[in-house]
Amino acid sequence: MNFIILDLEATCWQGNAMGREQEIIEIGAYRVNGYGEWKDHFQAFVKPKLYPRLSSYCKDLTGITQMQINRAGSFEQVFQEFEDWVLSDDGAHLLCTWGDKDLPLIIEDCRRSDIDYDFLPKCIDLKSQYAAIHQLSKTTGLLKALDYNELEFEGDHHRAIDDAYNTAKLFLQYIDHWQY
């Protein structure tokens, strides 16, 4: 079994988003196997269709620049590259995310672009499972979970590739505890 530890960043606005739909601006993922071995990773920026200019809030939060977005491929291009990457390794795969927001973002961007996403493997929410493992009354953020497990966050928080990397570190700490 291969595990795809996935994180996304999306367009965002401070306060009232005025009915704007979020779009993916970065896909970050690490692949690990059932033996706890790191296999490879995927990272790409995505140029949004509806709101191609990032808000100041979004740039400040993620550290992603307008130049990186301007040079990025469309969702259709990047998602095809992501699909090719996922399917490049034979065997069963399971998507793992910290929270339940990433998969709906992918599905919505796929629908908006009329892209088939049936290749996506089943997805589990590590955040809710982590709370269950530790019998917490509510879910906890990634930074707090890492700190609780004496793991240091590496990279920049709210960058998909770095959040995916740190989620993968936590995933490997509990590799025999996740329910899938």
Domain segments of the chain as ranges: 2-173
Predicted structure pTM score: 0.96
Mean pLDDT score, 39-68: 97
How confident is the model at residue 19, as a pLDDT? Answer: 83
Separation CA 46–CA 128 (nearest Å): 28
Mean pLDDT score, 95-105: 96
Which CA distances in Å does 99 have to 72, 73, 89, 128?
26, 26, 25, 7
Give the fold, CATH level 3, of 2-173.
Answer: Nucleotidyltransferase; domain 5 (3.30.420)
pLDDT band at 9 (very low <50, low <70, confident <90, very high): very high
pLDDT band at 12 (very low <50, low <70, confident <90, very high): very high
